[in-house]
Amino acid sequence: MSRPLWTASEIVAATGGKLAGDFAATGVSIDTRSLEPGDLFVALTAGRDGHEFVAQAMAKGASGVLASRPVDAPVVLVDETQLALEALGVAARERAPARRGAVTGSVGKTSVTRAIEAGLRLAGPAHASVKSYNNHIGVPLTLARMPAETERAVFEVGMNHADEITPLSKMIRPHAAAITTVGPVHIENFPDGEAGIVRAKGEIFDGMESGGVAVLNADNAAFEALSARAKAAGLEVWSFGQGPGVQGQLLGFAAGEGIATVEAMLFGERVTFPILNTGAHWGLNSLCVLLMLEALDVDRATGLAALAEFRPIEGRGAEKTVRIPGGAFTLIDESYNANPLSMIAAFKSLGARKAPIGGRRIVALTDMLELGAGSAEFHAGLAPPIAAAEIDLVFCAGPMMKSLWDALPQNRRGGYAMTAAELAPQVASAVGPGDLVMVKGSNGSRASAIAAALATLDAAGLPGEGSA
């Protein structure tokens, strides 16, 4: 029988709490909806008070509770459960021999983190963030879940404001960190615009282990500023991009049906390899992944093998063939999130693909959120890259997307609605056999409702049960 993730005495030692009733935990949970038998239930008090759910957690099989007031369960009592969770995460970091990586960026951090994880798991006992657990709760929770025998780990790190990444980086203490790219995301929270975002992303270096590696996008306008900050922190900079003078240089990217081929130079050696992500941005993403893996002591052959099997994540480029009368269309689900950078990258990827005879390139877009006073301009500014990608029809939903709708020529206008739910039937009735249909928008503007409606079209071409 394997050792538990945490014994009660270990939790007490990590948090400075007081034990009432012995137990051992095989996992850590903050949510009774996803709690597994044997988990330690941490009763956080932000939002809903977790103490109200202790009975439910115990009924679902929790082994014990981390709480800040007495409860009817085996418990470690602490002054503040958020701080105790952070302390537990730091203790997990200190006891594991893991080489740790961190990934941040305005675009692509979740997918890049997942791809790095795939390589780490091929190389040995590994640990990683789940979903997008990248904030002040998700990072310490992920650390606290890290087994003692972990050899390598990777953590996603996000932010909405300045000064959020520094404490997370200091918790993780990464040996390698990647910034995928920097752009106008959450810009409404930064009075000085993108300059503030660059500084905030550079906070990832603040907690890094001495002599660590910073993996940076040399094609991004923020590269020089981030490189200088990394070097000032005593880090080695490895860069990726399309130009010379980088450790990972993209020479070519060719997308086919469900597969793409990348040509690159890695530390002066020419390599050609397949990946299952067909978006053009995955040329650079794959190099970021490989550099991070090498920085975490994973050999190149293992990294290439992992990339060859790594599939797009749902909502982040996953594809589905949907049957309709007369044939089928391809649904490209990019509905999880969106900002100006990721929108333009998605349009380029779609434009690089050749639709079957009679098929069209179609996009269904919902509002990009948190863009501040310049939101209307950012949305209208999508019209030129849409034209450059030779996209045939554009469907728009949301008050901000009205700016794009007004900027589109008549021959590209597919349909407009105020909400994603209202737009979904318009898109569903317009798609035809051979079409390439991409859905993209911010999570909060419900682009996923359109993707769900299209994914559940039945052979009669009508929305199936459960569609929006």
Phi and psi at residue 244, to the nearest 5°:
-75, 170
Q: Which residues contact 363 (CB under 8 A, 6 or more apart)?
A: 346, 347, 350, 386, 391, 393, 394, 395, 437, 438, 439, 440
- pLDDT of 424 > 90? The answer is yes
CATH topology of domain 6-80: 3.40.1390
- Give the pLDDT confidence of 182-224 residue by residue, as tens digits: 977 666 777 777 888 899 999 999 999 999 999 999 999 999 9
The number of beta carbons lying within 10 Å of the beta carbon of residue 20 is 16
- Give the pLDDT confidence of 215-237 residue by residue, as tens digits: 999 999 999 999 999 999 999 99
pTM over 0.85, yes/no: no
CA distance 48 to 68: 14
CA torsion sign, 354 to 355 to 357 to 360? negative
CA distance 279 to 253: 10
Percent share of the chain, pLDDT over 90: 78
CATH topology of domain 318-455: Protein-Tyrosine Phosphatase; Chain A (3.90.190)
Task: Return the domain boundaries, the chain.
Answer: 6-80, 96-309, 318-455
The number of beta carbons lying within 10 Å of the beta carbon of residue 243 is 10
- Give the pLDDT confidence of 113-134 residue by residue, as tens digits: 999 999 999 999 999 998 878 9
- Enclosing H/E stretch for 230: helix 223-232
- pLDDT of 301 > 60? The answer is yes
* Predicted local confidence at residue 106, as pLDDT: 85
Mean pLDDT score of the chain: 92
Of 89-93, 432-436, 458-462, minimum mean pLDDT range: 458-462
- Give the pLDDT confidence of 32-57 residue by residue, as tens digits: 999 999 999 999 998 899 999 999 99
Answer with the residue of higher pLDDT: 318 or 87: 87
* Predicted local confidence at residue 187, as pLDDT: 67
- How far is residue 216 from each of residues 47, 68, 162, 169, 298, measured CA to CA in Å? 36, 41, 20, 16, 18
CATH topology of domain 96-309: UDP-N-acetylmuramoyl-L-alanine:D-glutamate ligase (3.40.1190)
E strands, 143-241, in order: 152-156, 176-179, 213-217, 236-241
